[in-house]
Amino acid sequence: MNDNNNRNNNFKDNFSLDIEKIFNVLNTNDYSAFIQESENFAKKLSEEKKNKIKTSQLRKFYDEIIDDKLSKENYRKTLPFLKVKLAYAKGRKTINDLFYSNMIKLIDKSLEKEENIEIFKDFFESIIAYYKFYGDDK
């Protein structure tokens, strides 16, 4: 039983988004893997007991990428600054390592090509929805 707990903790601690699976939706138009990744990630975030993220923190970052702040015209400027804001929040311990490391990967992949921006926005929106579903601030 103790081994099972250790394995579950290691999985949670080492959880990493499958970035290629998320952005592969551009090629396949199959959103099932995309949705599954966002659900898994939100569930892991909601299971964090130590350094649990408040929904308001997630919304704060989401607000940075919505409302035309993150458009195809300015994403090369906006996304690197979002990484800076993530680092600041991590330093203040308002976000945890799990969120920080996976968001950095998502941003890096989004910067590769313009088409990735909409995927990034949609993925972030689905994370917030599932995070609310799985328990957020409770």
> What is the total count of domains within the chain?
1
- The CA distance from 15 to 60, in Å, is 23
Maximum distance among all Cα pairs of the chain, rounded to whole angstroms: 53
Whether pTM > 0.85 for this model: the answer is no
Q: What does the chain come to in residues?
A: 138
Q: How much is the pLDDT for 34?
A: 92
Instruction: Check: CB of residue 86 under 8 Å from CB of residue 42.
Output: no
Q: Which residues of the chain have pLDDT under 70?
A: 1-14, 67-69, 136-138
- In the block, tokens 């995070």 appear at 131
- The CA distance from 86 to 68, in Å, is 19
**pLDDT tens digits, one per residue of 1-20:** 444 444 344 444 568 999 99
Domain that holds residue 6: 2-134
